Amino acid sequence: MDTMYWKDNTLFLLDQTKLPIEVTYVKLKTYEEVAEAIVSMKVRGAPAIGAAAAYGMVLGVMGFRNDQNLDNYLRNVYETLKNTRPTAVNLFWALDRMWKKYLEVKNQNFEEIAKALLNEAKSIFYEDIELNKKIGAYGLEVVPENASILTHCNAGALATAGYGTALGVVRAAFAAGKLKRVFADETRPLLQGARLTAFELLEDGIDVTLICDNMAGYVMSLGLVDLVVVGADRVTANGDVANKIGTYSLAILAKEHGIPFYVAAPYSTIDLNLNSGKDIPIEERNPDEVRKIGDRLIAPSKVKVFNPAFDVTPAKYITGIITDRGIVRPPYRENIKKLFGGN
Ligand code: MRU
């Protein structure tokens, strides 16, 4: 199942807010529609947001009218897409890559510019699948035989261009015959674990057991988890990791139980411009996401809510970061720089 595809100058996006009940694609023809789809989380997951935004730039350039200044117009498209979600750095990485391509070709004729931007968006998309397969291959090294892996949120095919990061490791382990089962945290408030991870693993015939977020500690205490693998929205220069809210608690639980805790992420998630996790902007979302499940109110409609979408796991809790260039281990600042200092 494709997270998104490009056809007839249109971005077809799998509407993840409807999964697993309905499998439907929305047809996006303008960059504003792409921005809305990112904000409303029809598309979500760091690499998938980046790829969608790249296609959003293409739709932007296709909507250009000759009476405008192309530089100013496209900068506005860039800013609109940039202001959708603040935490996953892949969004800014993809937009910057598209902008760089634009600067390279801006003196060519309009058709050439549009073609070059479309090719760049397609490269971002297809490269991501390859990066995830590399993550999977490197990750295999840390997966013991007959492994039970616990994961949080959805860092799978649905969160990327395909294959997944954390679920890329799961898929590689499954293909190698090393996987016993996966525990998927449901991941309140928006239930990416229940709705998306459970769905995509079942589709692939992978043994998955759903648990509520507050069951993870007990499941670990029973000796049912061999390792934890999660995705990332941003990794800073010192190895701190922003990921879906609840990741931090899992990392501490894993440490207490002596369970290895791995983060899987492509190079596009690494942000060397930020010194530590304290510098990462954490998105706060609509309080109704906590007051409700789906459309149904589960709390007094006026109760105060705090709804951060992500948290930061300090590097000291992370056993290793599985990337497309290999597994990074402590000391993180030094080793991240060695692998990613060049770009
Ligand atoms: O709010 P979401 O669903 O976009 O959050 C997604 C996550 O936190 C993922 O774990 C992360 O983006 C990595 S996806 C490969």
Strand 261-264 relative to strand 227-230, pairing: parallel
C-beta of 231 in contact with ligand 1 (< 6 A): yes
Find, among 21, 92, 88, the residue nearest to 281 by Cα: 88
CATH architecture under which domain 137-340 falls: 3-Layer(aba) Sandwich (3.40)
- The pair of structure tokens assigned to 263 is 């983060």
Residues of the chain with CATH 3.40.50.10470: 137-340
Q: Which of the following is catalytic: 185, 233, 240, 324?
A: 233
* Average of per-residue pLDDT values in the chain: 97
Q: Is-above-0.95 flag for pTM?
A: yes
Query: Which pLDDT score is estimated for 280?
Result: 98
What is the C-alpha to C-alpha distance for residues 240 and 274, in angstroms, rounded to an integer? 10
Residue 207 falls in the annotated catalytic set: no
Instruction: Tell me which fold the domain 4-133 belongs to.
Output: Four Helix Bundle (Hemerythrin (Met), subunit A) (1.20.120)
Unique residue bearing structure tokens 């998105």: 283
- The residue-averaged pLDDT of 302-306 equals 98
> Which position has the token pair 């739709």?
59
- Radius of gyration of the chain, Cα coordinates, nearest whole angstrom: 20
Confirm if 129 and 268 have CB atoms less than 8 A apart. no
Cα angle 141-142-145, degrees, rounded to a multiple of 5:
90
Determine the pLDDT at residue 138. Answer: 98
Instruction: Flag whether pLDDT at 342 surpasses 90.
Output: no
Q: Residue 343 pLDDT more than 70?
A: no
Tokens of 37: 């789809």
Residue 158 and residue 156: Cα distance in Å, rounded?
Answer: 5
| Positions of CATH 1.20.120.420 in the chain | 4-133
CA separation for the pair 136, 254 (Å, rounded)? 21
Instruction: Identify which of 19, 49, 192 to mutate to test ligand 1's pocket (most ligand atoms within 8 A of the CB).
Output: 192
